[in-house]
Amino acid sequence: MRNIVLLLFIFLQFTAVAQVDSSLFRRIQKKDSTLKMNVDAVYSRPFLQLGKTPVALGGYVEANSNYMVTNGKTEGLSFQMRRLTIFLSSSIGKRIKFLSEIEFEDGTKEINIEFAAVDIELHPLLNVRGGVIMNPIGSFNQNHDGPKWEFIDRPISATTIIPSTWSNVGFGLWGKYAKNKWAIAYEAYLTNGFDERIINNAQNRTWIPASKLNPERFEESSNGVPLTTLKTAVRHRKIGELGVSWMGGVYNKFEDDGIELDKKRRIDLFAVDFNTRIKNKTYINTEWVWAFVDVPETFSQQFGNKQRGGFLDIVYPVLHRTILGFENATFNVAARLEYADYNVGTFNETGGNIRDDIYAIVPGISFRPYPQTVIRANYRYHWQTDLLGNPAVRTAGFQFGFSSYF
């Protein structure tokens, strides 16, 4: 922690110097004209190069206000410093790159190394990646930077079923091939994985993100069985990008010190994602996930063995011109529809449907003075039903905030 603060301090010192001498930092101009895909997200970020060194810096910040009412009760207005993320990248050689992403969430409540990996390009179709990587399950986990989105809250299913941002230590391969209007990519990694927290947590349900609370997951696997993540995606310049991904492994500690404790219990997540831009204007992005968890039969049915969910974002640029003196500014209207079911199944006792689900609709507007900066206002309405299917708890309210790369 102390080291991170020290690094941040040093970084800010450079920034302060840069304010005096702007030539110290220069914005890196992207030369790559190939079709961009979600697999490229980690490097498709604005960076500032530090002098003539091979080191580049970047990051983003996001903050917002929040006013929510739940069944007529409100905690009032709050201001939230959601994230401060710092990127540091370096070209070690022409075909060896390093990038790290350190994130401060909710002030300093959570400090995470979300990405810190070395890429070695053996061939454009065969890159070796090792370090702390983001498991490519769905698209949001790969492409989660706040300034890229018109919505203040991250998608429910992408954070509570797929536990974005979900990164682990591991190694793997990735590659991309682009020709004319087509591009295809793949990723395959073995990493440390989940642990028993997913059914041993205070959420009272199978809660996959609970594994993020394991402080040792960057040090060792909880059970010695690697988590496998595979993704392939194809993109057509006009049709859009379709991705299919799977992440699976054993989550429980089935053996300790040579003593068998339990059978191996698996967790598997399948995701499909798609994004496109219709007539070069309306942007549509969607991701759906299905999770399967082997929960012991003698445990409570409150902990489901199947989950599913997804979201659909539609963003329509109403104005794209000089606005308030900002050239090429964009004013968007947007809407998100989302759903997550944390317990797909029926009660043993009654045969009735187990609910434990949430639906949300989030209309919003956003203003982008520059592509890297978004000022956004959302109205959120969601209704959450408990596992018994009692009347839903309804929550609605307003959020206003910004997010910007720097």
Identify which range of 92-100, 107-115, 149-157, 343-351 contacts other proteins by CB under 8 A: 343-351
Nearer Cβ to other proteins (15/302): 302
DSSP 296-354: -TTS-TTS-SEEEEEEEEEEEEEEEEEETTEEEEEEEEEEEEEEEES--EE-TTT-PEE
Total binding residues for other proteins by CB under 8 A? 46
CB atoms within 10 A of CB 204: 13
Identify which range of 6-14, 91-99, 103-111, 347-355 contacts other proteins by CB under 8 A: 347-355
For residue 80, state whether it binds other proteins (rule: CB under 8 A): no
Footprint on residues 3-62 left by other proteins (CB under 8 A): none
Task: Yes or no: say if 241 and 275 are a contact pair by the CB < 8 Å rule.
Answer: yes
Pick from 304, 300, 294: nearest CA to 341: 304
Closest distance of CB 21 from other proteins, Å: 32
Helix (H) or strand (E) holding 401: strand 393-405
Closest distance of CB 43 from other proteins, Å: 36
C-alpha distances (whole Å) from 307 to each of 24, 78, 129, 209 are 50, 31, 30, 13
Sign of CA dihedral 162, 167, 173, 177: positive
Closest distance of CB 260 from other proteins, Å: 10
Nearer Cβ to other proteins (70/373): 70
Closest distance of CB 383 from other proteins, Å: 8
For residue 90, state whether it binds other proteins (rule: CB under 8 A): no
Nearer Cβ to other proteins (93/325): 325
- The amino acid at 291: A
Choose, by CB under 8 A, the member of 80, 91, 112, 201 that binds other proteins: 201
Closest distance of CB 200 from other proteins, Å: 5
Pick from 58, 23, 26, 66: nearest CA to 42: 58
Nearer Cβ to other proteins (45/197): 197
Count of all residues that appear for the chain in the document:
406
C-alpha distances (whole Å) from 250 to each of 88, 195, 266, 290 are 33, 8, 4, 17
Task: State the distance between the two ends of the chain, measured CA to CA, in whole angstroms.
Answer: 23
For residue 325, state whether it binds other proteins (rule: CB under 8 A): yes
For residue 343, state whether it binds other proteins (rule: CB under 8 A): no
For residue 323, state whether it binds other proteins (rule: CB under 8 A): yes
Residues 6+ apart with CB under 8 A from 48: 18, 25, 26, 27, 28, 56, 57, 58
Identify which range of 120-128, 131-139, 187-195, 378-386 contacts other proteins by CB under 8 A: 378-386
Nearer Cβ to other proteins (127/305): 305
Nearer Cβ to other proteins (97/217): 217
What is the distance, to the nearest Å, from the Cα of residue 406 to the centroid of all Cα atoms in its chain? Answer: 19
What are φ and ψ of residue 275, in 5° steps?
A: -145, 145
Nearer Cβ to other proteins (182/347): 347
Calpha distance 111→103 (Å, rounded): 6
Choose, by CB under 8 A, the member of 203, 232, 276, 373 that binds other proteins: 203
For residue 296, state whether it binds other proteins (rule: CB under 8 A): yes
For residue 78, state whether it binds other proteins (rule: CB under 8 A): no
For residue 327, state whether it binds other proteins (rule: CB under 8 A): no
Site string for other proteins, 248-277 (x = CB under 8 A): ----x--------xx--x------------
Per-state percent for the chain, helix, strand, coil, to nearest 5: 10, 55, 35
For residue 73, state whether it binds other proteins (rule: CB under 8 A): yes
For residue 386, state whether it binds other proteins (rule: CB under 8 A): yes
Cis omega before residue 74 (within 30°)? no
The site for other proteins (CB under 8 A) is made up of 67, 69-74, 196, 199-204, 252, 261-262, 265, 296, 298-302, 323-325, 347-350, 352, 355, 379, 381, 386-391, 394-398
